[in-house]
Amino acid sequence: MYDFNYQKPAAIDDAVKALGSDPEAKALAGGMTFIPVLKQRLAKPSTLVDLGGLGLSGIRREGNALVIKAMTTHREVATSKVVADAIPALAHLASHIGDRQVRYRGTIGGSLANNDPSACYPSAALALGATIRTTRREIAADDYFQGMFTTALEPDELIVEVSFPIPEKAAYEKFPNPASRYAMVGVFVAKTAGGARLAVTGAGNNGVFRHAAMEQALSANFAPDAIRDVKTPEEDMNSDIHASAAYRAHLVGVMARRAVASCG
Amino acid sequence: MNDTTLPHIVKGGIGDSPKRVEDRRFLSGRGHYTDDINRPDQTYAVFRRSDVAHGVIRSIDTAAARAMPGVVAIFTGDDIAKAGIGGVPCGWQIHSKDGSPMVEPPHPVLAQGKVRYVGDAIAMVIAETVDQAKDAAEALVVNIDPLPAVSNMIAATAEGAALVHDEAKGNVCFDWHIGDKDAVDAAFAKAHKVATIDLVNNRLVPNPIEPRAAIGDFDRSTGEHTLYTTSQNPHVIRLLMGAFVLQIPEHKLRVVAPDVGGGFGAKIFHYIEEAAVTWAAAQVNRPVKWTCERSESFITDAHGRDHISHAELALAEDGAFLGLRVKTMANLGAYLSTFAPSVPTYLSATLLAGVYTTPAIYSEVKALFTNTVPVDAYRGAGRPETTFLLERLVDVAAKTMGMDRVAIRRRNFIPADAYPYQTPVALQYDSGNHEATLARCMELADWNGFEARRAESAKRGKLRGIGMSTYLEACGIAPSAVAGALGARAGLYEVANVKVHPTGSVTLYTGTHSHGQGHETTFAQLVADQLGVPFEQVEIVHGDTSKIPFGMGTYGSRSLAVGGSAIVKAVDKIISKGKKIAAHLMEASVDDIEFKDGKFTVAGTDKSKAFGEIALTAYVPHNYPHDELEPGLDETAFYDPKNFTFPGGCHICEVEVDPDTGVVSMLNFTAVDDIGRVINPMIVHGQVHGGVAQGIGQALLEHAIYDETGQLLSGSLMDYTMPRADNLVNIHVGTESTMCTHNPLGAKGVGEVGAIGSPPAVINAVVDALRDYGVTHIDMPATPLKIWSIINAASPRMAAE
Q: Which residues of B touch A179 (CB under 8 A)?
A: 701, 714, 717-722
- Please check the confidence at residue B653 and state whether its pLDDT lies above 50: yes
Query: Strands B55-61, B141-146: parallel, antiparallel or unpaired by DSSP?
Result: antiparallel
Contacts of B720 in chain A (CB under 8 A): 179
pLDDT for residue B5: 47
**In the predicted model, is pLDDT for residue A194 greater than 50?**
yes
Which residues of B, range 468-487, sit inside 8 Å of A by Cβ?
A: none
d(CA B468, CA B450): 12
pLDDT exceeds 60 at position B4: no
Contact between chains at A178 and B660 (C-beta distance less than 8 A): no
Using CB atoms, which residue from B131, B719, B792 is nearest to A241?
A: B719
Would you state the pLDDT for residue B2? 46
Selecting from A1, A41, A247 the residue whose C-beta is nearest the C-beta of B785 gives: A247
> What is the nearest CA distance from B663 to chain A, expressed in angstroms?
10
- Which among A180, A228, A239 is the top mutation candidate for probing chain B, defined by the most B β-carbons within 10 Å of its own β-carbon? A180
B717 touching A (Cβ < 8 Å)? yes
Residues of B in contact with A2 (CB under 8 A): 131
Q: So what's the pLDDT on residue B794?
A: 87
- Per-residue HEC secondary structure of B476-540 comes to CCCCHHHHHHCCECCCCCEEEEEEECCCCCEEEEECCCCCCCCHHHHHHHHHHHHHCCCHHHEEE
> Between A40, A180, A250, which is nearest B788 by CB?
A250
pLDDT of residue B477: 86
Determine, for residues A247 and B720 on separate chains, whether the beta-carbon distance falls below 8 Å: no
Decide if A241 and B660 are in contact by the 8 Å CB cutoff.
no
Choose among B523, B521, B522: nearest CA to B509: B523
User: How far lies B293's CA from each of B70, B90, B207, B297, in Å?
Assistant: 21, 25, 11, 6
> What pLDDT does residue A264 have?
84
Question: Is A145 an interface residue toward B (CB < 8 Å)?
Answer: no
Task: Please list every residue in chain A whose beta carbon sits closer than 8 Å to the beta carbon of residue B203.
Answer: none
The nearest CA of chain A is from the CA of B773 a distance in Å of: 18
Sheet holding B593-596, edge to edge: B593-596, B599-602, B608-610
Cβ–Cβ contact A164 with B under 8 A: no
Q: What mean pLDDT value characterizes chain A?
A: 97
Q: What would the pLDDT profile of A41-63 be if each residue is shown by its tens digit? A: 999 999 999 999 999 999 999 99
Query: What's the gap in Å between the CA of A156 and the closest CA on chain B?
Result: 30
B701 CB near a chain A CB, below 8 Å? yes
pLDDT band at A191 (very low <50, low <70, confident <90, very high): very high
Taking residues B743-762, report their average pLDDT.
Answer: 97
Interface subset of B 96-135, CB within 8 angstroms of A: 131, 134
pLDDT mean over B641-653 = 97
The beta-carbon neighbor of A179 closest among B661, B720, B785 is: B720
Please check whether residue A180 touches B, CB under 8 A.
yes
Query: Could you tell me the pLDDT band of residue B3, with boundaries at 50, 70 and 90?
Result: very low
Q: Dihedrals φ, ψ of B496, to 5°?
A: -135, 140
For residues B475 and B488, what is the distance between their CA atoms, to the nearest angstrom? 15
B196 touches chain A (CB under 8 A): no
* 8 Å CB contact of B785 and A41: no
pLDDT tops 80 at residue B8: no
Is the pLDDT at A166 greater than 60, yes or no?
Answer: yes
Cα Rg, chain A, nearest whole Å: 18
Look at residue B184 and tell me whether its pLDDT is greater than 90: yes
CB contact (8 A) between residue B719 and residue A40: no
Handedness of CA B673, B678, B683, B687 (dihedral sign): negative
CA distances from A156 to A3, A71, A147, B13, B200 (A): 22, 16, 19, 69, 53
Closest by CA to B393, choosing from B203, B202, B194, B674, is B194
pLDDT of residue B1: 41
Interface contact flag, B722 A179, Cβ < 8 Å: yes
Is some CB atom of chain A closer than 8 A to the CB atom of B665?
Answer: no
Q: pLDDT band at residue B95, thresholds of 50, 70 and 90?
A: very high
Task: Give the other-Cβ count within 10 Å of B242's Cβ.
Answer: 22
Residue A217 confidence (pLDDT): 98
- Residue B801 confidence (pLDDT): 59
Question: Does the pLDDT of residue B793 top 60, yes or no?
Answer: yes
Asked if residue B328 lies in contact with residue B152, where contact means CB atoms within 8 angstroms, the answer is no
Angle between helices B784-800 and A245-262 (to 10 degrees): 80
Helical packing angle, B611-619 and B565-585, nearest 10°:
80
Residue B502 has φ and ψ, to the nearest 5°, of -55, -35
3-state helix, strand, coil in chain A (%, to 5): 35, 25, 40
Give the 3-state DSSP-derived string for B120-186, with helices as H, strands as E and coil as C. Answer: CEEEEEEECCHHHHHHHHHHCEEEEEECCCCCCHHHHCCCCCCCCCCCCHHHEEEEEEEECHHHHHH
Residue B597: what pLDDT? 92
Amino acid of residue B300: T
Q: What's the pLDDT band for B7 if we cut at 50, 70, 90?
A: low
For residue range B541-553, what is the model confidence (pLDDT) as tens digits? 999 999 999 999 9
Entry pTM: 0.97
pLDDT mean over B611-634: 97
- Within an 8 Å CB–CB cutoff, is residue B788 touching chain A? yes
Q: How many Cβ atoms from other residues are within 10 Å of residue A21's Cβ? A: 10
Report the pLDDT value the prediction gives residue B9, as an integer from 0 to 100.
78
| Chain A residues inside the 8 Å CB shell of B789 | 244, 247
Share of chain B above pLDDT 70, in %: 98
Q: What is the pLDDT of residues B676-734, one digit of tens each?
A: 999 999 999 999 999 999 999 999 999 999 999 999 999 999 999 999 999 999 999 99
Is B717 close to A179, i.e. CB distance below 8 A?
yes
CB B551 within 8 A of CB B494: yes
B795 pLDDT tier (thresholds 50, 70, 90): confident
Residue of A nearest to B703 (CA): A241
Answer yes or no: are the C-beta atoms of B250 and B266 closer than 8 Å. Answer: no
CB contact, 8 Å: A178 with chain B? yes
Q: Decide: helix, strand or coil at residue B326.
A: strand
pLDDT of B288 reads 98
Q: Tell me what the mean pLDDT of segment B296-305 comes to.
A: 98
Query: B792 to chain A nearest CA, in Å?
Result: 9
Q: What pLDDT is attached to residue B800? A: 62
CA angle B157, B161, B162 (to 5 degrees): 125
Average pLDDT, chain B: 96
Of A41, A178, A247, the CB nearest to B721: A178
Calculate mean pLDDT across residues B372-386.
97
Q: Assess whether the previous peptide bond of B781 is cis (omega < 30° from 0).
A: yes
- Chain B hits for A242, Cβ within 8 Å: 719, 783, 785
Continuous H helices in B660-701: 681-696
Of A2, A40, A243, the CB nearest to B785: A243
